Structure 1
Amino acid sequence: MTETPGWTSPGSPEAPPGPTGTGHSAPTPPPAAPAAPLPPQSAPTGPGIGLIPLRPLGFGELMDGTFALVRRNWRAAFGLTLALAAVLELLQAGIDWWIHTSGSRTDAVLSNNYLAPLALFFGVLASGLLAPVVSNGLLGRDTPLAEAWARVRGQLGRLIGLCLLLAAIGIGSLALAIVPLALLAFATDLPGLLALLLLTVPPVIWLSIRLTLAVPALMLEKQPVLGALKRSWRLTRGAWWRIFGLTLVFRICLTVVATVLAGPGEIVAMVLGGTPGNGAAGDGPAAISIAAVAVCGIVARTVTIPLEGALQTLIYADQRIRREALDLELAHAAGLPGYARPAAAAPSGA
């Protein structure tokens, strides 16, 4: 099984210097009339390249392309994330049962927040699992589940390490922002909770967007953990608002999708009165309700987790196309005419 070409970073050992800025030689112009040269900055698009045009993508194209890539490779995408979704929902079902038997109303209100850190961790992990699927999809290649897992398995240790480091950075940045502001709130009798929310969340969101492309960089460029963080920092420079807006709108769309898919389980729980914290329900109705919510939750997470991960990788590819002419290398990898590497010069005197 061969690795998908075209994903080395500029200046990496695998990529000799070249005039395109991506570490690869410029494509050989096709033998055509001088009056109709190929566009120098973007690879041509057409049948056989894939679902995504090999050029800088617009806002809507990135969103549509994410759904198209996951839909085409649904076996690999859903297969890789089904286990993550099942773990989250089984843990949530256990929490809901504990709340039913011995929890309070406050526990019931907070029940969906207990697993939020783990859900974020699994979301980042899923983006790494889906990166090879998206990279092949850009070239019009389908990725079976076995191949996708084989591509991921060798880097799983570094991927988990990066996910843990990103979680630590997020928690650490939040703590560094909250502690001094909490002391200030107590000292000045300010409405502390609102002030903390307004003043601490923006820096954490800013940092998360700057590091959002670290996972695709690690998986597709085989970067070390710290190198992937630096790579994301460079690729997102000057594009923060664009990436933030796209991510925000897409997550709102995913919330709607998840609500629709999880709706039947919530309806069953409401009819049976077995929602967490409702002491009027007996153990039987509560168990059925929790099971129904868990099953529908697994379906919802299995569908939405790979979509968010695929979007991350697609944004990463788009940033490299905009800054490093990655489209030229992908066009060569896709076998487009006129984008073959130039043949080596013959030795003098031959």
Structure 2
Amino acid sequence: MSRTFVIAQGGGPTAVINQTLAGAVIAARRRHGDVRVLGAKHGIRGIAADDFIDLTAFSDGDLMHIANTPNSALGSTRDKPDDAYCGRILEGLRKAKADAFVYIGGNDTAGTLQILDRAAGGPMTFVHAPKTIDNDLAENDHTPGFISAALFVVRAFLSVDLDFRALPGIYVGIVMGRHAGFLTASAAAWRRQAADGPHLVYVPEEPFSVERLVADIHATLDRFGRCVVAMSEGVTVAGGAPLAGHLIPAHRREHDAHGNIQLSGGDLGLALQSRLKEEFPKVRARVDTFGYLPRGFNFRRGAYTIDYESWINPRGRLRRNAPAVVAVAITT
């Protein structure tokens, strides 16, 4: 009996999310010789709009090229479906005759799958393939996407620490992470001595204040003559409000579709740098916002390097769940 797998990608792209995609497609084809593999463009949007690409004829070589390309090859979305949207998605899956839907992504993607699973009320299988640079999925030690992004962060801080040894001053690198500080904490992974940067690390899980930052920088300058700081974009001040809302003027604040203050832009860095220059007028102070750079960092050395966790994880899940249909969407 022919089977159909639907596969899609959600949330922010990473350097290895396409490895998960390729691993899932190849595993499905090897386990089910007559499988039909569909790709939904831009996640659940493609399913609702009946916008698929048939990946059945893609060679393993083509899939390997996709696997080694940083981005989300199928296109992505951050849509959070309401009841009406869920109905359109489920109708799209039924129209595609999908036996299973594999969705690659992080917390929001997992939440979307849970909503669809409850709404479906039938035999269709819903499989979550974890991907998030924030590393904040429950019951995971680490997730695909985190290691490659963390490698960028740790290399960046190692390099900038050497820069500020040559020309001492204050450096702050603002790293992605609205609620989780794993990526920011990775900045200290290669520290070997107390004098190595980053000297200060601030994560969303711990209370933060600008006054504390200034005091900590003063102490670090007195001790080492320079200060390198790793800071999560999501650090919060008194009352749990994000620092961005505290420092950025109201007319400069941007918000996403869900009402959250945009944290990955450069306004927080500019506001913080201005404050540091006021507090330390005679010291060189620089603030960089890493933004999307860590998640898109292409760390591979060869054309066919495999991130084995990203590659093997979906293959194992497909073997255990043995879904009937895999659909994958790729943008043109």
TM-score by length of 2: 0.26
User: Which of the pair has more CA radius of gyration?
Assistant: 1
Q: Which has the higher helix share?
A: 1
TM-score, scaled to structure 1: 0.25
More strand by share: 2
